Amino acid sequence: MELSELKLISASNIIRLRTNAGMTQAELGAQLNYSDKSVSKWERGEAIPDAYVLTRLAELFGVSVDYLLSTHDAWTPPEEEPAPAQYSFGVITAVAILAVWTMALTGFVVLWLVGVIWWPVFAVALTVSLLAYLILLIVFKRWRPLRYVIAAFVASVFVLIYVLILPLGNNWQLFLILIPAEILVFLVFHIRKKPRKR
């Protein structure tokens, strides 16, 4: 008997015994101290459990190791379950940011048509789009660029304050506060718990 045939036979027997016992792959894996991915490999005929696991399976289901490795009926490997749909981070981010800028441009054009040219709408759009990007990074657990996006968001808030609240006069001193604020953002990301010395 070839190894590939033995894998299919053991796969068929494991599936039958597990389903008859009303167990999921995860539950069987927990009983054996293996992951459900290992159980899935055995059941797809991609691998065969080692001697120890075969012994544990035999004990668990009340059969012999020989039973697990013997043919009882014809079997074909199960079809792979389709992977769950995954959302595209890049497309969702592009849609969100494009929506923000489309609304900003629409507002700008509408104001322009009524005779008001208000450029600060784009400063608002910058801050809102960075906030949307920041939220999406957190939702999709993309941690690597997070510190840079937070730093850019903080800077955009300062620009927004400067453009909206302090448009009159020379109030560049506001940006002096931005320097320690940016340093603070980067320092926060370097806070780590030190391991205890024994």
Task: Give me the pLDDT at residue 108, please.
Answer: 95
**12 lies in which domain range?**
3-68
CA dist 145 and 198 (Å) reads 35
Are 22 and 101 part of one and the same domain? Answer: no
Global pTM reads: 0.53
Are 54 and 105 part of one and the same domain? Answer: no
Residue 82 within any structural domain of the chain: no
Task: Give me the pLDDT at residue 133, please.
Answer: 94
State the amino acid at position 44 in one-letter form. Answer: R
CA dist 72 and 77 (Å) reads 15
Residue 74 within any structural domain of the chain: no
End-to-end alpha carbon distance in the chain = 55
Are 105 and 175 part of one and the same domain? Answer: yes
What is the share, in percent, of the chain residues with pLDDT greater than 70? 87
| Residue 119 scores a pLDDT above 60 | yes
Residue 144 within any structural domain of the chain: yes
Average pLDDT, the chain: 85
pLDDT in tens, 29-44: 888 888 888 888 988 8
Are 37 and 107 part of one and the same domain? Answer: no
pLDDT in tens, 148-170: 999 999 999 988 888 887 666 66
Are 64 and 97 part of one and the same domain? Answer: no
